[in-house]
Structure 1
Amino acid sequence: MNTQNTQNTQYNENTQAVLLLSTFFSKPKKDEARPLTAIEYGRFARWLHEFNFTPSSLFHQFDEVLSKWKDPKGKITADRLSEILGRKAAMGLALEKWQRAGVWVITRQDSEYPQLLKKQLRHISPPVFFGVGNKALLQNGGLAVIGSRGIDNIDEEFTQNIAIQAAQENINIVSGAARGVDETAMLASLNAGGTAIGIMADSLLKAATASKWRKHLQNEQLVLISSFYPEAGFSVGNAMARNKYIYTAANAALVVRADEGKGGTWAGAKENNENQWVPLFVKQQSDASGNIALLNNGAIPLELQSGAELWLANTLASAQKVDSNNSQPNNLNLFE
C-alpha cells in the first residue's frame, strides 16, 4: 500500500497518520474496521519507534513496515491498517466541520499535550485529544473534583465552595464536565474568576457551542478536551476510560460523593488507588457508602476551612509531600 498525502493540509503527515490510526470520524458502521484503541496504538507506536519508523511511514513504506510487524495479540493486521488508513476523504470532511466549530487536535508528539498525563500513563496515553479553548491550561495540573451525577444541596454547596476557594488560590479545577459534581465544580470556579480543564467522554462538538461554557472559552479560562471524536455519543465504556485522564491531568483529586462498588466515581477512585497516580481526598462529612469505604481504605478526609489563608493549597501540598515517594515530585510546584 502506498498511500498518497491526505487532503487536509493543516496537519502534518504524522498527525494525519495518528488520526487515521486512532480516531473515528463518524458513528461506526457494523462491518467496518475499527481504529486502534489507546492500548493497541501504544503497542504499535512503541514498535514503530523501536524500528525507527513513525506513523507517517505507513503512507510511504506500508509494505516494508508490515513485513516486519507481527502483532503479539493478533489484532493489528495489515488488512485492518489498510482499511483505517484509507479513510482520507472522511477525515478531511470531518476535520473541516470540526474546525469550523473551533475544535483543534493535539497528538502525543505535540508540546501542547498535557504533560502530567503523558508522564503518568506513558504508552497508554491517548494518541489524540480533540479540544476547544485555552490549550495552555493543559499544563497547569490542578485539583480533580469528581462525584456522582445526582447530588443533594449539601454536596452541591460543598462542591461550589471548594471550587471557589480553588479559584481564589489560583488552583485549576480538573473534571469531567458532566452533570452533577463535575459541572458544579467547573462552573463555580469559572464564575469566581478561576480556570478549569474539562475532560469529556462525549459530545465535545455540542459543548464547544453550549451557552454555559461559551463565555469562559472566550475569556480563555477554560479548555475542554476529549480523546473521543467530537461527535461521539455517551457510552459507559468511554466514560470509564476517561476517568484515568481526569486523575492524571491533575496533581491531586477530591471525591465529593461516591457509591461503593458501582458507578464511574467509585471505579475511577479505585483505579487511582491501584496506580497511585495522585493523592486522593474525600469529603468527610457524608453518608455516602463510597466516601466511607474510601476513607476506611486510606483516602484523606477533607472539609471546608475558614480563616486560614491558602488553606486548600497547603492541605494539598502536605499530602503530596507525604506521597512524594509514590508520586512525581515535580507536582509539588503547583502548591508551593
Structure 2
Amino acid sequence: MWSSISYGCYVNEIKLKSDKLNTQNNLYNENTQAVLLLSTFFSKPKKGEARPLTAIEYGRFARWLHEFNYTPSSLFHQFDEVLSKWKDPKGKITADRLSEILGRKAAMGLALEKWQRAGVWVITRQDSVYPQLLKKQLRYISPPVFFGVGNKGLLQQGGLAVIGSRGIDEIDEEFTKNIAIQAAKENINIVSGAAQGVDETAMLSSLSAGGTAIGIMADSLLKAATASKWRKYLQSKKLVLISSFYPEAGFSVGNAMARNKYIYTTASSALVVRADEGKGGTWAGAKENNENNWVPLFVNRRSNASGNIALLAHGAYSFELQKTSEAWLAEVLSKVPAPESNNSPSNSLNLFE
C-alpha cells in the first residue's frame, strides 16, 4: 500500500510531466502539431505499429482536406465528420491508421523537447520560411515537415547545388573546392547533401572561405546539430542543415534517394562533379532532375566518369573552371535559362496543402 505522501508525490510527478509535455506542444499551433503527428516518426518505428503518412500520401490527403475546407487540425475536433467523407482511392489512409498516429501526442512532446535542446526547429509547408523554390516545383509532394538547425533565412536564397559521389579522387576534390571557393567569393549559396565526398567538400570549402551553405540531410540531423565540423558555421548563421526525416533517423538508401529531389529544387542550378552511369544517388538524382525540368544541370566536362559523359550526351550543359572575370561563375550560370517545369507555377498553392 502506498502512503498518502508517496501517492501525492507520484501524482505531482505525473502532473509535472504532463504540464511539460503540454508546454512543449504549445510551442506549435494545432495545425503544426497535426502535421507532425500525421507525417513524422518520433522514434525508431516498431513492428506492427501504424506508420505516419509518406510525403505522397500526405499530399493526397492534405489536398483533399483543403478542397473540403478542412485543415489538418480539423482532425482534432471533427475526426468523425472528416472520416465520414474521406475515401482514400489507394485504400492506405484509413480511419484506424489516422486514429493511431494522431494519438501520439505524448511521444511527440517528449521528442520535440529532446530535439529542441539540441537547437532543432520545425517548419511546415504553411510557414513562410519553408523553401519556396522547392514548394513551387514539387507542390503536393513537398515534404510536410522539415526539421532543421541554423539560419532559416538561407532557405530562400536558392544557389548552386553541387553534387557528386562519396568516393572522389584528388582531382575531383580540387575541382569541388575551387567551385565552392568561387561561389563564396560571389555570394552564391552552396546547396548539397552534407554527405562525405563531394557534398561535404563543397559545403566546408565554401564555409571556410566565408560563404554560405544549405545541407539537406537524409539522416542523423540530431548528431550533425552538435558536430564540431558544423558548429561554428551554424552559430555564425552561415549554414542551415535540414531534413525531411525525423532528426534521429539512421541511414537508409530509400531516404537518401528521396532527398535528392529536395537538393535540386532548393537550388537555382545544379552541378554534377562526378557520377557513375546507371548507379548511385548522383546518377539517379540528375536523371530525375532532367525528367522533371527542375533546374539547369551542369556537368564537369573534365571528368572521364561514365555518368558525366552520359549526362553530357543527353543534353546537360558542359562546365569547366574559368578565370575570365571576378564573377565568372554567376555569368556561366546566368547564360542558361531556367527550364520550363513540368509543374505549372502557381501563386495560389494553399499553405496547408
Would you call these one fold, judging by a TM-score over 0.5?
yes
Q: Kindly provide the CA deviation profile for residues 260-299 of structure 1, in whole angstroms up to 9, marking residues without a partner as x.
A: 0000000000000000000000000111000000001110
Cα distance change of structure 1 residues 299 and 101 upon mapping to structure 2, 3 Å threshold = same
Q: 2:89 aligns with which of 72, 86, 93?
A: 72
Q: How does 1:195-234 map to 2 (within 5 A)?
A: 195-234=212-251
Alpha-carbon distance in 1 for matches of 2:210, 2:344:
28
Report the Cα offset of residue 320 of structure 1. Answer: 2.1
The aligned amino acid for 1:112 is V
Report the Cα offset of residue 325 of structure 1. Answer: 8.1
8 Å CA contact retained: 2:137, 2:341: no
Q: Report the equivalent of 2:275.
A: 258
Report the Cα offset of residue 327 of structure 1. Answer: 9.3
**Matched residue of 1:319: which SS?**
coil
Q: Kindly provide the CA deviation profile for residues 165-190 of structure 1, in whole angstroms up to 9, marking residues without a partner as x.
A: 00000100000000000000000000
**Matched residue of 2:146: which SS?**
strand
Matched, 1:184 2:183: no
Matched, 1:43 2:75: no
The aligned amino acid for 1:157 is E
Report the Cα offset of residue 307 of structure 1. Answer: 3.9
Q: Report the equivalent of 1:56.
A: 73
The aligned amino acid for 1:167 is A
The aligned amino acid for 1:34 is R
**Matched residue of 1:320: which SS?**
coil
Structure index of larger Rg: 2
Q: Report the equivalent of 2:332.
A: 315
Unaligned runs of 5+ in 2: 1-18, 346-353
RMSD, aligned α-carbons:
1.6
Range with bigger deviation, 308-317 or 194-203: 308-317
Q: 1:304 aligns with which of 312, 321, 329?
A: 321
Alpha-carbon distance in 2 for matches of 1:307, 1:63:
65
Range with bigger deviation, 312-321 or 291-300: 312-321
Report the Cα offset of residue 151 of structure 1. Answer: 0.1
Matched, 1:34 2:48: no
The aligned amino acid for 2:330 is A
Q: How does 1:261-300 map to 2 (within 5 A)?
A: 261-300=278-317
Report the Cα offset of residue 246 of structure 1. Answer: 0.1
8 Å CA contact retained: 2:137, 2:343: no
Q: Report the equivalent of 1:11.
A: 28
Q: Kindly provide the CA deviation profile for residues 33-84 of structure 1, in whole angstroms up to 9, marking residues without a partner as x.
A: 0000000000000000000000000000000000000000000000000000
8 Å CA contact retained: 2:123, 2:130: yes
Report the Cα offset of residue 306 of structure 1. Answer: 1.2
The aligned amino acid for 1:36 is L
**Fraction of identical pairs, as percent:** 85
Cα distance change of structure 1 residues 30 and 136 upon mapping to structure 2, 3 Å threshold = same
Alpha-carbon distance in 2 for matches of 1:288, 1:74:
44
Alpha-carbon distance in 1 for matches of 2:341, 2:194:
31
**Matched residue of 1:254: which SS?**
strand
Report the Cα offset of residue 328 of structure 1. Answer: 9.1
**Matched residue of 1:224: which SS?**
strand
8 Å CA contact retained: 2:292, 2:341: no
The aligned amino acid for 2:27 is Q
The aligned amino acid for 2:209 is A
Alpha-carbon distance in 2 for matches of 1:324, 1:12:
36
The aligned amino acid for 2:160 is L
Cα distance change of structure 1 residues 202 and 273 upon mapping to structure 2, 3 Å threshold = same
Matched, 1:124 2:138: no
8 Å CA contact retained: 1:141, 1:172: yes
8 Å CA contact retained: 1:278, 1:327: no
Alpha-carbon distance in 1 for matches of 2:214, 2:34:
27
Aligned residues: 325
Unaligned runs of 5+ in 1: 330-336
